[in-house]
């Protein structure tokens, strides 16, 4: 394949990996009119190796659906590779994706090297935010492990790659079409039996975190206790609060495990992160050229690249920014938690933020849900459970339900 040109556009320049479901190659995009051609990743899929008894037309339809999902995920979230193209050529299927320049975590999670607990906490926080996003889109990754997590070189952020095993689920929570896939040691029993769930990704992430804490070579080196649970605590120096979260992430019975990534993140936030200094305290808006981004006040390093028409300071871990004519909210990784949809948006205070919709002010919560309908000509931040608002010439106090307290 080296030197081959696909679709008269993508020149294969190296092999990145191979497996039972296909090969992965590094390629150059010859259509881009620059002297140095930009790199991309091409996955040559082997559908017959995945499902020998399924008609080719069904396999083709399945992969096209998965390509649509990958496109939607990558376009929306900066820590998932963008999908550039999906095509067939001589009964072969190809996916073209963004090339992530960096190193995968198999180079950092190495034998005999134990991560500090603080590093594992930051790792979990960042990865859980990615999982919350894909789980909200009813997608299970199914192959989370160190080699499928990249640390991007230019900003140090984690990127979840290799969505080749991704599967959409129905509203009933049952996969439309699935077979037992994944990497040994990271796969829970229900996924091995061909019935993966959201909690299967949580299991794999928990195993990866335990591997980093203990410094073991492979997860299969971990022993199992009399109750069929993983015995790992004696191999790590870890606080009880983090150990309890990890234990619940990797429970044998998926019914006792965390069911969604948001539940794990909530526990991490409440039991650990809220007791630590907040990252957003050191992030400040910075204008470079005509765009706004964010820099770390301590180092002067740009953490979130300039891409916004307007940007406010972070409060409660979220910041209001403008794309085009609409405002939304990003987290400290630069990912949109609440997509641009408001005419104006202000700081969060006590879990609520003022937004402007059709010329009137109302309040949203951290999920973007409108909890106090837009009806005010002016509105202020909440303090001690109350906020001052104005309708016409009259000023009022309201509580967090929107109830008027007094004029």
Q: Which residues contact 347 (CB under 8 A, 6 or more apart)?
A: 312, 313, 315, 320, 353, 381
Number of Cβ atoms within 10 Å of the Cβ of 333: 19
Q: Cα–Cα distances in Å, from 83 out to 20, 78, 79, 188? A: 22, 12, 12, 28
Identify any residues that bridge with 329 across adjacent strands, giving them in sequence order.
320, 338
Q: What are the counts of helices (DSSP H) followed by strands (DSSP E) for the chain?
A: 7, 28
Residues 43-79, buried b or exposed e (16+ Cβ, 10 A)?
Answer: bbbebeebeeeeeeeebeebbeebbebbbebbeebbb
Q: Counting Cβ atoms within 10 Å, is residue 184 exposed (0-12), middle (13-18) or buried (19+)?
A: exposed
List, in sequence order, every beta strand (DSSP E) within 191-343: 223-224, 230-231, 283-288, 291-296, 302-308, 310-311, 319-323, 326-330, 336-342
- Note whether 161 and 81 are within 8 A (CB): yes
* String of DSSP letters for 164-222: GG-EEB-TTS-BSS----S-TTT--HHHHTT---HHHHHHHHHHHHHHHHHT-S-GGGS
Rounded CA Rg of the chain: 23
- For residues 243 and 401, give the distance between their C-alpha atoms in angstroms, rounded to a whole number: 37
Which residues are marked as active site?
A: 143
Backbone dihedral angles phi then psi of residue 232, each to the nearest 5 degrees:
-135, -20
- Note whether 44 and 17 are within 8 A (CB): no
Helix (H/G/I), strand (E/B), else coil: 277: coil
Number of Cβ atoms within 10 Å of the Cβ of 213: 24
Which two structure tokens, joined as six digits, stand for 394?
Answer: 């009259």
């Amino acid at each position: 394949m080296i030197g081959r040109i696909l679709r008269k556009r993508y020149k294969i320049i190296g092999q990145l990996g191979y497996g039972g479901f296909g090969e992965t190659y590094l390629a150059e995009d010859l259509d881009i009119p620059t002297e140095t051609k930009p790199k991309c990743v091409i996955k040559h899929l082997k559908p017959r190796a995945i499902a020998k008894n399924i008609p080719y037309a069904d396999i083709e339809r399945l992969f096209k659906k998965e390509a649509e999902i990958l496109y939607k995920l990558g376009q929306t979230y900066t820590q998932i590779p963008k999908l550039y193209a999906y095509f067939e050529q001589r009964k072969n299927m190809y996916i073209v994706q963004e090339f992530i320049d960096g190193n995968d975590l198999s180079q950092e999670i190495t034998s005999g090297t134990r991560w500090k607990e603080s590093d594992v906490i930051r790792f979990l926080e960042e990865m859980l935010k990615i999982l919350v996003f894909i789980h909200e889109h009813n997608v299970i990754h199914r192959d989370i492990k160190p080699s499928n997590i990249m640390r991007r070189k230019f900003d140090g952020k984690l990127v979840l790659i290799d969505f080749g095993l991704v599967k959409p689920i129905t509203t009933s929570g049952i996969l439309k079409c699935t077979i037992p896939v994944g990497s040994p040691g990271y796969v829970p029993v229900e996924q091995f039996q061909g019935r993966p769930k959201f909690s299967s990704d949580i299991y794999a992430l928990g195993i990866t975190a335990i591997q980093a804490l203990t410094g073991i070579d492979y997860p299969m080196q971990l022993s199992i206790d009399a109750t069929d649970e993983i015995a790992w605590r004696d191999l790590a120096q870890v606080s009880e609060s983090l150990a309890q979260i990890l234990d619940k992430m990797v429970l044998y019975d998926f019914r006792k495990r965390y069911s969604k990534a948001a539940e794990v993140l909530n526990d991490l936030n409440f039991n650990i992160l809220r007791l630590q200094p907040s990252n957003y305290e050191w992030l400040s808006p910075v204008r470079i050229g005509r765009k706004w981004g964010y820099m770390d006040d301590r180092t002067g390093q740009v953490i979130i690249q300039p891409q916004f028409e307007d940007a406010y300071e972070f409060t409660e871990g979220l910041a209001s920014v403008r794309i085009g004519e609409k405002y939304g909210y990003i987290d400290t990784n630069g990912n949109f938690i609440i997509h641009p949809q408001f005419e104006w948006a202000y700081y969060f205070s006590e879990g609520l933020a003022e937004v402007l919709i059709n010329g009137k002010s109302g309040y949203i919560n951290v999920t973007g849900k409108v909890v106090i309908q837009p009806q005010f000509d002016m509105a202020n931040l909440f303090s001690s459970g109350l906020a001052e608002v104005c309708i016409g010439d009259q000023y009022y106090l309201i509580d967090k339900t929107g109830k008027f307290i007094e004029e």
